[in-house]
Chain A
Amino acid sequence: MSNRTKTNEFDCVVIGAGHAGVEAAHAATRIGAKTCLITISKDTIAKMSCNPAIGGLAKGQIVREVDALGGLMGLAIDATGIQFRLLNRSKGPAVQAPRAQADKYKYKDYIRTQLEQTANLTIVEAIVTQIVTEKNNVRAVRCRDGRIYNAPTVILTTGTFLRGLMHIGTQQFAGGRLGEPAANELSDSLRQLGLELGRLKTGTPARLDAATADLDKLDVQLGDERPVPFSFMTERIDRPQVPCWITYTNEKIHKLIRDNLHRAPLYSGQITSTGPRYCPSIETKIVRFADKKRHQVFLEPEDEEKTTIYCNGISTSLPKDVQEQMLKLLGGTENARIVHYGYAIEYDYCLPIQLKPNLETRKVSGLFLAGQINGTSGYEEAAGQGIVAGINAAGKLQGKEPLILGRDQAYIGVMIDDLLTKGLDEPYRMFTSRAEYRLLLRADNADRRLTQVGKSAGLVDEKRWAKFQKKIENINTLKSYLKNNRSGGISLWDQLRQPGNILAGTIAENPDVKNMDLAEDVYQAVIIDAKYEGYLAKQERLVAGFRALENKKIPADLDYNSIAHLRAEAKEKLSVFRPSTFGQASRISGITPADITVVQIHLKKNNDRVI
């Protein structure tokens, strides 16, 4: 990497310090890029704009993946979580995932401290207005105050800030988050670069002053007695946990909302962009599921001291007076003071089919995008892209092969591939059902899937690597012991594979095993591997076929219109999506095996460029 001495010369500039930006900046810096992280305010680094929680189904797996690669999110939530729960405990290990409530103030402080302690990372407060390019290569970013930061790579993680427009009732105001300015000029700059932008919508509920809420009469939801950490580096979590409270909407609230629908921006025509189906506002719930008598609301503390409360389940952009009346009718919040009102926000995103699998735009070399700007929602989805963008931006400068995670390798891989091959019509969120190789992509084996990858990228430190090596060694020792020892003529391993075999619960009590002095996660890994071994063998052929296609690359500059016998529909679709491998091409809807073969033959004819 070049030796940059001037104060405005960097290897990499990251714009935005949300959950994508912080992972990107951290990863790029740790790999060796002199990095500048630009945020509008240092106070909002890693701010939880919405739900004060990390993880959940499919999302928890992503946090584990980010952690295995050497990212921050897992460590941060382990250090600042106030209630931990392992979800889907009654279901199979492949679909179990950790979730935790965070002390949102401590969470962002933790991340900020980590970043500030990272050598070679400069954090700057500014509003970026322009991406400066030269012959389709990134050169610099220009700020509103005239400052210029030069860098050959730029990672854009703008969240909801691009032409952000908030709605509370009929009231509309520009901003990236409540009380924060929007980034309007940057949208224009991206358009000028030839990038196509779209518009999405999301929303958030009201926050309450906890001291004014009557929580004692409500049902509580407690955390797990023994919290399961997110990070593979965290041994255990001993902090006392706080509960959440559960309340329900009622017919009176539903009537109130129905009576005021004409003032709801989602139904008055004021908001035209699409919001997520999986995260509907309370007004949408009441309209779409009119026969449902009540909707669950979780009152979640936003910090350890319980100063504010997040009303999970009643995200809304109804007028302030309606929000006030609604809370008066909701059990437990009758007298609660609203700290800030719920609102909806519309923002620009960049159509992700314009990206290469390394998250770099095809139009502008060196310009990487991560997080909500790619149309996703969720802190975890953002972090997953952020770390990949950070690794790839730094890797590009070092001349490394791009990091492209496969669909059989990580949820992050599934997500990026979906973004590139499907396009989207609502904010994209991860679900385990999106992963066809779900049994492979588990929270428990994220380290075994990705630590090596993070190590190769230069992001995994010695301590993590040594710990990982030790775990692998122990797993292998235990497995070989189980495979080489029998009872009743059946190897212990085969017994472990039988459904419901008691060995799974008693394995640690075996005297030989006891002597091995193994950690809990080693037992778990072995038990889970045994459970899924047979099923995974079945999927192996599918995975092998999938990989074969993924390894066949398609040149980035292929002119599909020049392929004489390609169907018109295929020409059009392939020209838009520009798949980088035959595997991706085959996943674009409407592309047939015959189309793929035509392309394959065309490429074969032209100087054997692939195959």
Chain B
Amino acid sequence: MYDLNDTIVAVSSPTSDKRVIVRITGPETIETCKQIFNSPITNHRLHKFRWINTDKSVKSLIIGGICGVDAELKIDAQLYLFLSPHSYTGDDLAEIHIHTNPAVTEVLIGNLLGKGLRMAGPGEFTARAYLNGKIDLAQAEAVNEIIVSSNAFQLAAAEKLLSGRLSETTAKVRSAMMDCLSLTEAGLDFSAEDIELETGAEVIERLLGVKKQLEQLLTGSIRYESLIDLPAVGITGAPNAGKSSLLNKLLGKERSIVSHKRKTTRDVLTALCTLTHCRCVLFDCAGLTPSLVARCSSHRSRATGDGPRDVLDELAQQAAIEALRNSAVVVFCVDISKADWSEDISIRELIYSSCVEHDAYCVKENTQYAICDTKLIPVATKCDLVSERVLSNRLAELNELFGIELLVTSTETGDGLELLRETIDRKIIELEPGFETAKSDATPLFESTQSSVALTARHKQAVTEAIENVSESISELRAGNDEVAAMMLRAAYQAISGIESAAGGHVDEQILENIFSRFCIGK
């Protein structure tokens, strides 16, 4: 059962919306927000709001500001505070709205868990709402949601783990921990028996091995923090220019939903890509709408009197621009199967202007263009859709229009993809030489991306907790406090068991089973 006194956090599904919403509810909500937001959340402000809030016409207190994703990374965000009891759950509830990529979201969640919050269980927000008397009808639906989301949660978790090597690794570690735990417990419960147990030193030796494996799991897997630091490759272009297909081909597996309908990719999707000399993060930037882009980029302060606008659309576009601005290399896709390139021209302007703001010292126009061109890789997509004659005509036209030669590709035939990969690799090395990895580390693109493991904030928390407990158990064993060491080891074991969704049964029965199968116990 969920502990109602915990402060819990959940990420709203970003698929149907462009925002990522991180929801927090529980007694520590306000305190947590105070810690991560730069805008003052004063008691006076809260009190005033609480007063206004009594008539329920104003639902939430909206605070714009900078959200500390972790100690270093700060991003723009909006905070919606719903104070108890006028919130969905009936407890204090906060929504942090951000426009960012999943990597940053994961880091933010990790930061929140580090502050003592707990990931919400399936349907837990709804359960809380019900238990606090906030939802008094449609009980069946509420319950149903729990079950459905519970299944979805388990499915998602299972899928994630099965596809990676995480569960494989944790199963090994878990079994090693169970052995150490059993040996320690056998020393406590069966010390009067005529059995030869491994000495404390040997158990410690094995535990050091366990600790090392766990640490490798932390350092060796793809962490979202490391994705933030890797050179970014933005893939951009007009809506439906084939960016997602290209990304998928570069990664060798389906990473984002591709459809022929325009604007299907509405978020900045992130994926890790290993090239011959370096690794990079691919960003599939949202389909940009030039008119919107122009408005957003031309003046940050919004013009008044524009009438109702989709603020979120704007913010999504800004997120895309931000991603492009931070990209080391920009792959600019132009659909060569169509004849009208007005949109593409606008987008190219946008890429240039993003360079201007980024590299503020570039004052002269020519210099700007030169710098932008060095990080730009223009790509002609869907080349299989036109005849060779049309292709060569259009290429010539585009080369003249953009003043730069386009790389010819087709995700259908695979033409030009290898060259594109090499070009990205080369450009990153040229522009950001620090990212070159040793040759021996470089593995072929497809295999390595498929076998990489990404630790989510929840997993990371579990592994970190296990490492702490294993370390403590080692020092307790060294001090001869076996009974305390066993307690720590049990905690470590349970932390790791939590990663694998399948319930492992009662720990003490597993310990006893392990002992009885190995040792002849019983006088």
Contact = CB atoms under 8 A, between A and B. Distances in A.
Contact of B189 (A296, A433, A535, A552): A433
Given A277-B521, A433-B185, A597-B123, A564 B143 contact: yes
A572 to B, nearest CB: 16
Interface size range of chain B in the complex: 35 or more
B482 A565 contact: no
Nearest to A531: B481
Q: Which of A280, A296, A433, A586 has the most CB of B within 10 A?
A: A433
Interface in B501-523: 503, 505-506, 508-509, 511-512, 516, 520-523
A312 B192 contact: no
B188 A298 contact: no
Interface in A292-336: 292, 295-298, 312-313
Q: Which of B130, B483, B508 has the most CB of A within 10 A?
A: B483
A313 B192 CA distance: 12
Interface stretch (B144-152, B258-266, B334-342, B427-435): B144-152
A592 B1 CA distance: 8
B188 A436 contact: no
Nearest to B6: A545
Contacts of A279: 522-523
B484 A92 contact: yes
A548 interface: yes
Contacts of A567: 147
A431 B186 CA distance: 10
B261 to A, nearest CB: 36
Contacts of B201: none
Given A91-B482, A499-B481, A598 B147 contact: yes
Contacts of A92: 480-484
B1 A596 contact: yes
Contacts of B505: 589
B522 A278 contact: yes
A597 B139 CA distance: 12
B143 A601 contact: yes
A376 interface: no
Contact of B483 (A91, A276, A436): A91
B188 A57 contact: yes
Contact of A431 (B140, B512, B522): B512
Interface size range of chain A in the complex: 35 or more
A600 B4 CA distance: 12
A313 B193 CA distance: 10
Contact of B523 (A87, A313, A545): A313
Contacts of A586: 1
A422 interface: yes
A232 interface: no
Contacts of B511: 433
Interface string A568-611: 00000000000000100111011011101110111011000001
Contacts of B423: none
Given A95-B483, A278-B522, A601-B143, A594 B150 contact: yes
Contacts of B508: 431, 433-434, 436
Given A277-B516, A598-B147, A422 B509 contact: yes
A388 to B, nearest CB: 21
A590 to B, nearest CB: 7
A432 B516 CA distance: 15
A177 to B, nearest CB: 20
B81 to A, nearest CB: 26
B490 interface: yes
Given A92-B481, A95-B188, A590-B503, A600 B1 contact: yes
B3 interface: yes
Contacts of A298: 523
Contacts of B3: 545, 548
Contacts of A285: 520, 522
B486 interface: yes
Interface in A268-285: 276-280, 285
Interface string A348-366: 0000000000000000000
Interface in B369-411: none
Nearest to A286: B520
A278 B516 contact: yes
A598 B146 contact: yes
Given A91-B188, A433-B189, A593 B121 contact: yes
Nearest to A549: B1
Contacts of B479: 499-500
Interface string A535-549: 100010000010011
Contacts of B520: 280, 285, 288-289, 292, 295
B521 A592 contact: no
Given A295-B194, A604-B131, A594 B146 contact: yes
Interface string B130-143: 11000000011011
Interface of A: 56-58, 87-88, 91-92, 94-95, 276-280, 285, 288-289, 292, 295-298, 312-313, 422, 431-434, 436, 438-439, 499-500, 535, 539, 545, 548-549, 552, 564-565, 567, 582, 585-587, 589-590, 592-594, 596-598, 600-602, 604-605, 611
25 contacts: A87-B191, A91-B482, A92-B480, A276-B522, A277-B512, A278-B522, A279-B522, A285-B520, A295-B520, A297-B523, A432-B189, A433-B512, A438-B487, A499-B479, A565-B140, A565-B146, A586-B1, A587-B506, A589-B506, A598-B143, A598-B146, A600-B1, A600-B127, A602-B143, A604-B130
Given A285-B522, A594-B150, 13 more contacts: A56-B192, A94-B483, A285-B520, A288-B520, A292-B520, A431-B508, A433-B486, A438-B487, A590-B503, A597-B2, A597-B124, A598-B147, A601-B130
